[in-house]
Amino acid sequence: MSFAYEIAEQVRTGKTSARAVIEASLARAERVQAELNAFITIARDAALAAADALDKRSASGEDPGPLAGVPVVIKDNICTQGIRTTAGSKSLEHFIPPYSATVVERLQQAGAIVVAKANLDEFGMGSSNENSAYGAARNPWDKSRVPGGSSGGSAIAVASGVAPLALGTDTGGSVRQPAAFTGIIGYKPTYGRLSRYGVIAFASSLDQVGVMARSSKDIALAMDVMAGHDEHDATSIPKDKPQFLDNLTADALKGIKIGLVSELSGEGNSEGVLQALEQTKALLERLGVQVGEVSLPNAPYGIATYYLVAPAEASANLARYDGMVYSIRTGENALGQAEVMMKSRGATLGPEVRRRILMGTYALSAGYYDAYYGKALKVRRLIANDLEKAFAQFDFVMTPTTPSSAYKLGEKSSDPLAMYLDDIDTVLANLAGISAVSVPAGKAEGEMPCGVQFLAPAQQDEKLIALVAALEQTQGDQFAPLATSYRS
């Protein structure tokens, strides 16, 4: 599969048709689904109809758009009109949205075509894509390993060549971690740069739509299309005029200073990840970037903070899935509303979702609010302050994306705490509301991909993607190659 900008150019100039592109994408999606369980729904009929309609408009002289004929995969917690959207949960097994999320609508208006809805950890709660009601997904580099989560299916779609672009959501690293595990780029924008209208909520102060691709230019193209104020989302940044493509300049690294976070770049990381981090640091220095150490004293408290704030917000957001108005109702013979709600939630929500609801409800309960949730909010502020101080000295901050490469399926499913600790690097950006990106950093243990993460100050997203482009230019085709088994 070519890059998005190449496909769009070929369709716009008539060198190929949207139908031919989408037929090839769908054929690969079927193969990948059989091997990796990357998707919950493959939208064959809708995608082919959209391709034919685009070809017809193009033949009549109408501009087919900057993403003409580009196949995209959408995480299945982002609403798509007429295409089933389950959030990876039995509770929404039959939900077909009557409208599309703003980000999807804007992609489609630009000529992109939705080919599939990606598998995910239920409601975005997980780091391995093993918590889906529709089965675990598998890493395209090694089928015995996890692809990461919760946007695992979206990462697989890009890394295996089904689509050059995929949307995920990132609440505590759910775009960046699977990107690192599958060797692609995973970008979480500043909170509010992309509309959350039509995204099924997990933790509303942390959730952000993210973009996954193998090319910085593809990310820039998608962001120029999707970003901008949305009146349907009160958290959307007003008067936002994205200029990502215009900022992909050759001198992006000139005079740049990057701070390597001392608390996150030593003990606790695997040897392979540390080696990849050191290699990226050395590359940056060869390119003239000043790299120095920076301290984020409260970074080690990020996991504890995140796993109080996020479950608390999840407890509130998922209260509606009670079998009364939302979700599937079970236990009709139960005595009374309370028992119906209890049985319905127990039958349709998976164990990880139930665990986080219980954690969040406890943290918000009378007598514990100040001790847990209230204190977590204070530490969240301290973490944001640490980052502000770091950005006073450096243009960007650098960490590993994850402490290790992808682990075996089932390896951590019985130990949720061990899985939570893998988010130590990624939760910081969500807690502070800033932008962050994971870029491929070669291979770690088991010849599996790993990533390096860069964080930027709020609304400095264009400069962050320009940094990715500069790194990409030094490595060419080796920057984010397709997974080995899917290169033909």
Q: Which residues are catalytic?
A: 75, 150, 174
Look at the block and give the residue holding tokens 């514990």.
Answer: 368
Give 246-302 as a DSSP string: GG--TTTTTT-EEEEEGGGSSTTS-HHHHHHHHHHHHHHHHTT-EEEEE--TTGGGH
HSE at residue 106, side-chain half, CA atoms within 13 A, is 19
Question: Which tokens in the block code for residue 374?
Answer: 């209230």
Cα 348 to Cα 361: distance, rounded to the nearest angstrom:
18
Long-range contacts of 380-385 (CB under 8 A, 24+ apart): 380/305, 380/309, 380/431, 380/432, 382/298, 382/301, 383/296, 383/298, 383/299, 383/301, 383/302, 383/305, 383/428, 383/431, 383/432, 384/431, 384/432, 384/433
Task: Give the list of residues 6+ apart from residue 310 with CB closer than 8 angstroms, or none.
Answer: 171, 172, 202, 203, 206, 356, 360
Q: Are the C-beta atoms of 163 and 157 separated by less than 8 Å?
A: yes
Is residue 137 packed enough to be buried (19+ CB in 10 Å), middle (13-18) or exposed (0-12)? buried
Beta pairing, strands 257-261 & 185-188: unpaired
